[in-house]
Structure 1
Amino acid sequence: MGRKGPRTEVLGEDFIERRAKARERLDAFDPHKQPGGTEADPKRREWFETVYSLAEDDPAAVPWAHLEPRPLLEDWLARHPIAGLRALDVGCGLGDNAEALAHAGARVVAFDLVERAVQWARERFPESDVDYRAADLFDAPKEWRDAFDFVHELYTLQALPKALLPDAALALASFVAPGGTLLVISRARDADEEIGGPPWPLAKEDIEALAVDGLRLVALEDIPAKDVVGRHWRAEFRREAGA
């Protein structure tokens, strides 16, 4: 399933080395790796903004930038047609996953908390039909409520403290139109597994708790590390047409 390994054949050894050094620098000042960090930057806005500020246009310095769509999304799209659907990409970063949705035929809105991320995505894909916007998951435009047939979230939830997950679940659910689908992809852990974080891989109970506000969990895949880099969840939720 998907493509395996760190994909150095795509990113290159130099890119991987720059990423490792950047990750070390970022971890050193991440407030959530320090005592009291949760109170200092509860929604991690300052940290995300600092990541892009320090990147200085080097994608290797953005830990979640892979310069191509994520394999678990590509694999899902190959088996689930979304052509013609109105889609939302949550936490779009540099835009690769949003472009994959558009390539599959969806009409895509993609947003990120950080304005620089949105600008960067637009610069990378100047001819794109994707509507890139800066927005806050917890304070999204009101017109997005019940507005999307397909909502895609990858790695945003695992970057949030556990205390924010209930509000994040409600926010994600609010975007899904009647009859629509929410697809969530995240690193996975066992419920009793010790995690340092951030990021914080999600437990099964965290995934199941996303079934709120009329959403129903219809598929949950536990994808082992032998198939991808690190164990992952891929979860599909659906809102009934009349909900």
Structure 2
Amino acid sequence: MSLVPPNDIRQKIREMVENSQSHPTAWFETLYAESQGDPSLIPWATLATHPQLEKWLENQAIEDNNQTALVLGCGLGDDAEALADFGFQVTAFDISPTAIAWCRQRFPNSQVNYTVADLLDPDPNWLEKFDFVLESRITQSMPLEVRSQAIKAIANLVAPHGILLLITRFRDTEAAPEGPPWPLSEAELSAFKTCGLTEINRHKFVAENRPDAQQLCIEYRKDVF
């Protein structure tokens, strides 16, 4: 395992972002590839289901085995596996081919459909297809100039009456933050509502690895009018 200090990893990521000219999220592949299989070099890779997703699942019941779920920016796959174990038919994607290969290596007998895809240019066959969409710390990893595009793309993936679970850092100002990550503001969160989603639950939480950061878990439903 790596002994690289967290601050050094964050500085390395900032440099990757600054040097990523071809695409605003191309740096993810650079990070995963250069980690050479060491998850400690991936700051968000806990190798466990996100606690907020676990809490959400505790209060749910699958009534239809054909319910579909999509995990955005699935990383190393733990959240996708939790959803599959719960009973969803899961598709999970990441822009990084190395991350997807890593998922398949970690879970060789998985029922999850792991695939390489780009949130900013999603598969048109995914339009309003998924009963449940997990957005865990994805929009916050995108620069502000592409954020509205990302939010619209996410909303378009949720099926009518479907659920979006958003886990994100939050900032209480509209001033542009330093990043990455770039925490979401209240105005940016309101863009999900503009895109046809209704907020049905919101709560703050504290992450053990970043007790200083404001964190939100928000559940949205796509209503049909």
Return the TM-score normalized by structure 1.
0.82
Q: What residue number does 1:173 align with? A: 155
Q: What residue number does 1:23 align with? A: 9
- Find the aligned partners of 2:97 and 2:209 in 1 and give their Cα distance: 34
- Find the aligned partners of 2:145 and 2:104 in 1 and give their Cα distance: 32
- Find the aligned partners of 2:201 and 2:59 in 1 and give their Cα distance: 14
Q: Is this contact kept in 2: 1:108–1:131, CA < 8 A?
A: yes
Gaps of 5+ in 2: none
Among candidates 28, 39, 42, match of residue 62 of structure 1 = 42
Q: Secondary structure at the match of 1:152?
A: strand
Q: What residue number does 2:221 align with? A: 238
Could you tell me how far 1:52 is from its partner in structure 2?
A: 1.1
Q: Secondary structure at the match of 1:30?
A: helix
Q: Is this contact kept in 1: 2:174–2:187, CA < 8 A?
A: no
- Find the aligned partners of 2:209 and 2:35 in 1 and give their Cα distance: 30
Per residue, is there more strand in 1 or in 2? Answer: 2
Q: What residue number does 2:60 align with? A: 80
Q: Is this contact kept in 2: 1:19–1:63, CA < 8 A?
A: no
- Find the aligned partners of 1:153 and 1:188 in 2 and give their Cα distance: 14
Structure 1 window deviating more from structure 2 (54-63 vs 225-234): it is 225-234
Q: Sequence identity of aligned pairs in percent? A: 36
- Find the aligned partners of 1:27 and 1:181 in 2 and give their Cα distance: 31
Q: Deviations over 1:134-176 (max 9, x none)?
A: 0000111111001100000101111001121111111011111
- Find the aligned partners of 1:71 and 1:189 in 2 and give their Cα distance: 21
- Asked whether 1:49 is paired with 2:35, we answer no
The CA RMSD over aligned residues, in Å, is 2.4
Among candidates 98, 118, 121, match of residue 116 of structure 1 = 98
Structure 1 window deviating more from structure 2 (115-124 vs 220-229): it is 220-229
Q: Deviations over 1:13-46 (max 9, x none)?
A: x66x4462761562362343xxxx68x355121x
Q: Is this contact kept in 2: 1:191–1:205, CA < 8 A?
A: no
